[in-house]
Structure 1
Amino acid sequence: MVEPPEPPEPAAPQPAAALIVYAPLTRADVPGLCARLVELLHRERTDPFPCDVSALVRPDLAVIEALARLQLTARGLGRCIRLRGASGELRDLLALTGLDEIVRAGPRAAGLGVECRREAEQREQVWHVQERVEADDLPL
């Protein structure tokens, strides 16, 4: 008697494509990265779209600018990116520049807790501030 063949095992889910950002990263690389991201976003429906930044171990402001441009490119298409494999140094630099919102991967991202607030410049109106003039307060 012949035994029936065993059913095939279900195929493992294919990992979603990701934009891999290599080091060193310069400003000249940004247009090519953004074009590649647009290409990937048109093909893949993953949202937020993963960007592997694990190679960026010594980030600088050119890296931060590039990541901000990538996020703006994705948002222009109604999507967003999520950084994957961000080093502590990259996370700290993103937090320092106020761009830590684009890092949404891992447990540490939720606890960055850095809030950047803009301060009014000279002669610029400050919102939500009520001034009270004291009678003995002489004008300058």
Structure 2
Amino acid sequence: MSADVFIVRGPVAREDVPGVCERLRAFVGSSGAREVTVDIGAVGRADAVALEVVTRLRLTARRLDCRLRFVNVGCGLSGLLGWLGLGEVQGEVEEREEARGVQEGVDSGDPAR
């Protein structure tokens, strides 16, 4: 686990999300961290607010040129993030990479367009 840990205190309501992002902005600004572990265990539930917290924190971090690693992601939220294609936020540092296992190619039998 990274030495720079940001804890999201819960429960979180929709109106709390901008404040959580502002706390992350201040945390990164004061620590100078380029990689932050975000503990979202207190969020606890898998709903639209939890998704908004994760996506808005990711956006905030990108704007700060910082990478996030989410820990203590509940089972329900983990499944929902995976279903939405956001499963990479859990336990791994977020990086811009191509999806693994996807190969692009041209079939010689395909007509040219």
Q: State the 1:36 CA deviation.
A: 0.5
Task: Compare the two structures and name the one with the higher strand fraction.
Answer: 2
Q: What RMSD, in angstroms, separates the aligned Cα atoms of the two structures? A: 2.6
Query: Given that residues 38 and 73 in structure 1 are in contact (C-alpha distance below 8 angstroms), is that contact kept between their aligned partners in structure 2?
Result: yes
TM-score by length of 2: 0.72
Q: Which runs of 5+ in 1 are unaligned?
A: 1-14, 106-114, 116-127, 133-140
Runs of 4+ in structure 1 over 3 Å off: 128-132
Q: Which has the higher contact order (CA 8 A, sep 6+)?
A: 2
Task: Compare the two structures and name the one with the higher helix fraction.
Answer: 2
Q: Which runs of 5+ in 2 are unaligned?
A: 93-99, 101-105
**1:28 and 2:15 equivalent?**
yes
Query: Given that residues 22 and 53 in structure 1 are in contact (C-alpha distance below 8 angstroms), is that contact kept between their aligned partners in structure 2?
Result: yes
**1:94 and 2:94 equivalent?**
no
Query: In terms of Rg, which structure is larger?
Result: 1
What fraction of aligned residue pairs are identical, expressed as a percent?
A: 32
The number of equivalent residue pairs is: 98
Distance 1:47 1:88 in 2: 27
Distance 1:20 1:82 in 2: 12
1:82 aligned to 57, 66, 69, which one? Answer: 69
Supply the AA of the counterpart residue of 1:26: A
